[in-house]
Structures are given as C-alpha cells and as structure tokens.
Amino acid sequence: MRGVVHLENEVIENYQRDEKMMILIFAQWCINHNLDPKQVYEQAYPNQKNNTALNDAIEHTVTKEESDYIATDTLLAVLSMFGNEELAFVISEMKKG
C-alpha cells in the first residue's frame, strides 16, 4: 500500500510543479506583451484578487528583452491543459482586439 501512496504523492508533486510552470509562462507572456499579469488574471477571475502563486511567478519573470518568445497559441494550450478556460478566453479576446 505504501507504493500507491508514494505514487499518489509523486503525481501530486508533479502536477503542482507543472502548475507553477504554467503560471510562470502566463506571467512571462504578459510581461512580453506589456501587460500586467495581475490585471489580466483579475479579468478572468475577479473574485481572486490576491493569488499567491501568481505573485510568486511574477517575482521569477524576466524583462521582455531577456525572455524567450512565448507564442500565444502555446500559452492558450498550456492554460487549457490546466482548465484555465476563463483566462484563455480573456487572452484570446485581447489578441483579437
């Protein structure tokens, strides 16, 4: 039974690590497009004004000039993998206009 618990813990840890990476990709994409990640996030999730994971990710972003290019389609795919459909919708609408 301990093997199953270990495997479950490993799956949870991997998901949490990947989720942090998704948030960092979102934050960096915003920086690269001269957008405030907190403002974009609040458009999608107005009831979640102080997101600790987002604040942590913003601290790890780099300047637009230092960053690698992040395609909007890549960001939208990553957001969809984690069920952030509202945020993906806001970004899609921003890129249309």
Domain parsing of the chain, residue ranges: 2-96
Give the list of residues 6+ apart from residue 72 with CB closer than 8 angstroms, or none.
Answer: 29, 91, 95
pLDDT of residue 5: 80
CA distance 64 to 9: 36
The answer to whether 28 touches 62, Cβ cutoff 8 Å, is yes
pLDDT of residue 96: 79
Beta strand residue intervals within the chain, DSSP E: none
pLDDT of residue 97: 63
CA distance 83 to 2: 30
How confident is the prediction along the chain (97 residues), in pLDDT tens digits per residue? 567 788 888 988 988 899 999 999 999 999 999 999 999 999 999 998 889 999 999 999 999 999 999 999 999 999 999 999 999 999 999 887 6
pTM of this structure: 0.89
